[in-house]
Amino acid sequence: MIENNRLEFKRVLNDSLEKEVVGFLNYHEGGEIHIGIDDNGTIFGVEDSDEMQKRIVDRIKNNIYPSTMGLFDVVTVNMDEKNIVKVIISSGSEKPYYIRKYGMSPGGCFLRVGTTVQQMNKEMIDSLYSKRIRNSLGQLVSPRQDLSFKQLKIFYEENGFDLNNKFLNNLELYTEDNKFNYAAYLLADENGISMKVAKYSGTDKVDLIENAEFGYCSLIKATESILNKLEIENITKTKITSTVRKENRLVDPTALREAVINAIIHNEYTNGIPPVFEIFADRFVITSSGGLPQELNQAEFFDGISAPRNKELMRVFKDVKLVEQLGSGVQRILKMYDRSIFKFSPNFLKVSFPMENVGENVGENVGENVGENPFKPNNTQTKIISLVKLDRHVTQEELSKQLNKSVRTIERNMKTLQEAKIIARIGSNTTGYWEVLK
């Protein structure tokens, strides 16, 4: 292992952390810092990696400006049976970044150059500042100021966060003059943003058979609804031969999920065009507006270099476990598909997943169609089905208590089960009952 323009080694955590992070934030490719490895690439590891991660997060959040939230990730990885703390840094869109106590000056601004970090001169600082992006979601004022965030708070609470009255401030949902910004608008309980899942009977847009709409609610809730819808549409084909049973999804589910989330997080919402999801007879197509962020070219995009267009959204999606690690989404897609599924234009980015097994005679080797399994319940949904079988009059509040989940979580999962035709509500909400269909 050797250092390069995107990789810095540190034997121990020291006072130069902020300088190195600033250097990568200002570098157009970002980079990584590995703590527990010396300059020669020898792995020593670190003690108490959890505590070190907390210290690093605190230092980056508080000692660097502009805000770095959504632009870095801190994880522990194991190398040679030793813990290494890895700091992953994206290229920022509000350059120049600087060490707060020194201000936007040569003493506070740095840039990664080769395997070193160099101090910027005043001309470089002024040039970067003049190009700073000013139409970010965090700087645009929300078209509405009467916003509420009940849905967003539920998602945070479900992921173990203990919320306080600074919740919205911590998520950076206000402009400098204390008004809700556009990121807040997208994450609020009500907004004017809607995303569509369109389904066609053929390979073109002539015959539209379904146009489902998800939105006018928190972007997190809308994202989960779209993921659930595509999970149902991405059926499992089962083929039994004389020697083996084969099961294949039409599209790899991990790659599809990553493409959906990437499209929603990195979409250019300021132009009023939301992402679109389309299902044809031979492919799934996901289109987001805005093209590539200006910091990236196509080669850097495929290399997994991260430069989030909407860092406020990236931070929230990571908090609620919809994103695992910065820069990992494209790499997961490329494990299953080649680069040809991506189409780039100045204003749009399109991912087209070809369907597998289209037109295949399922069960042809046993003389009959062995059927399709359109939906596989998750762990919570499986428990709901079992409890409904025991008591078809069980209420969602009772299920919430028995499964130790919020009522909102139960409602969301039961809606998914109903859409998948796994369960059905018979009769009214007050006097009716639940029935397991299959």
**The pLDDT of residue 280:** 96
- The pLDDT, as a whole number, for residue 314 is 92
Q: Render pLDDT for 208-236 as a digit per residue (tens, 0 to 9).
A: 999 999 989 999 999 999 999 998 899 86
Q: Which residues contact 166 (CB under 8 A, 6 or more apart)?
A: none
144-184 pLDDT, tens digit each: 999 999 999 999 998 889 889 999 999 999 998 899 999 99
Q: Domain 194-354 has what CATH class?
A: alpha beta
Report the pLDDT averaged over residues 38-43.
Answer: 92
Write down the pTM of the prediction: 0.67
The reported pLDDT for the residue numbered 360 is 45
**How many CB atoms neighbour CB 432 within 10 A?**
13
Give mean pLDDT, residues 329-348: 91
Mean pLDDT of the chain: 87
Whether the per-residue pLDDT at 137 is higher than 50: the answer is: yes
pLDDT of 271 over the 90 cut: no
Domain spans, the chain: 7-131, 194-354, 377-436
Q: How confident is the model at residue 19 (pLDDT cuts 50, 70, 90)?
A: very high
24 vs 240, more confident = 24
- Confidence band, pLDDT 50/70/90 cuts, at residue 239: low
What are the CA-CA distances from residue 348 to residues 162, 291, 337, 391 (Å)?
38, 4, 20, 50
pLDDT > 80? residue 257: yes
Residues 6+ apart with CB under 8 A from 297: none
Tens-digit pLDDT profile for residues 346-405: 889 999 999 975 444 433 333 334 444 457 788 888 889 988 887 888 888 888 888 888
CA-to-CA dists, residue 214 to 51, 155, 430, angstroms:
41, 17, 27
- CATH, range 7-131: 3.30.950.30
The answer to whether 412 and 214 are in contact (CB under 8 A) is no
| pLDDT the model gives residue 156 | 93
Quote the CA–CA distance of 57 and 74 in Å, as a whole number.
7
Q: What is the pLDDT of residue 237?
A: 63
pLDDT at 397: 87
Q: Of the candidates 288, 315, 278, 384, which has an alpha carbon nearest to the alpha carbon of residue 170?
A: 315
- In the CATH hierarchy, which fold is given to the domain comprising 377-436? Arc Repressor Mutant, subunit A (1.10.10)
List, in sequence order, every residue forming a beta bridge with 434; answer none if it has no partner. 425
